[in-house]
Amino acid sequence: MTQLTDIGRAPGRRPRLLDLFCKQGGAGKGYGDAGFDVTGVDKDPQPRYPHRFVQADALAFVREHGAGFDFIHASPPCQFYSDTQRLTGNAHPDLIALTRTALEATGRPYVIENVRGAVPHLLAPVLLCGGMFSLETYRHRYFETGGWTLTGPRHALHTAPVAKMGRPIPAGHFGQFVGNFSGVDHARRVMGVDWMNRDGIRECIPPAYTEFIGRAFLATVSVGVAA
- Which residues, 6+ apart, have CB-to-CB distance to 124 below 8 Å? 144
Written as tens digits, the pLDDT of the chain (227 aa) is 333 444 544 567 899 999 999 999 999 999 999 999 999 999 999 999 999 999 999 999 999 999 999 999 999 996 666 555 554 455 657 899 999 999 999 999 999 999 999 999 999 999 999 999 999 999 999 999 999 999 999 999 999 999 888 778 888 899 989 888 888 999 999 999 999 999 999 999 999 999 999 999 999 885 443 33
DSSP state of 25: -
Query: For the chain, what is the radius of gyration of the CA atoms?
Result: 17
pLDDT confidence of residue 91: 60
CA–CA gap between residue 40 and residue 20 (Å, rounded): 6
Residue range 2-125+141-156+205-226, CATH number: 3.40.50.150
Read off the amino acid at residue 115: V
Rounded to an integer, what distance in angstroms lies between the CA atom of residue 141 and that of residue 112?
10
Which helix or strand (DSSP H or E) is residue 63 part of?
Answer: helix 58-65
**pLDDT at 224 (0 to 100):** 41
Nearest CA-CA partner of 23 in 63, 94, 74, 84 = 74
Contact call for residues 104 and 66 (beta carbons, < 8 A): no
User: Given this model, what pLDDT does residue 181 score?
Assistant: 86
- What's this model's pTM, rounded to 2 decimal places? 0.88
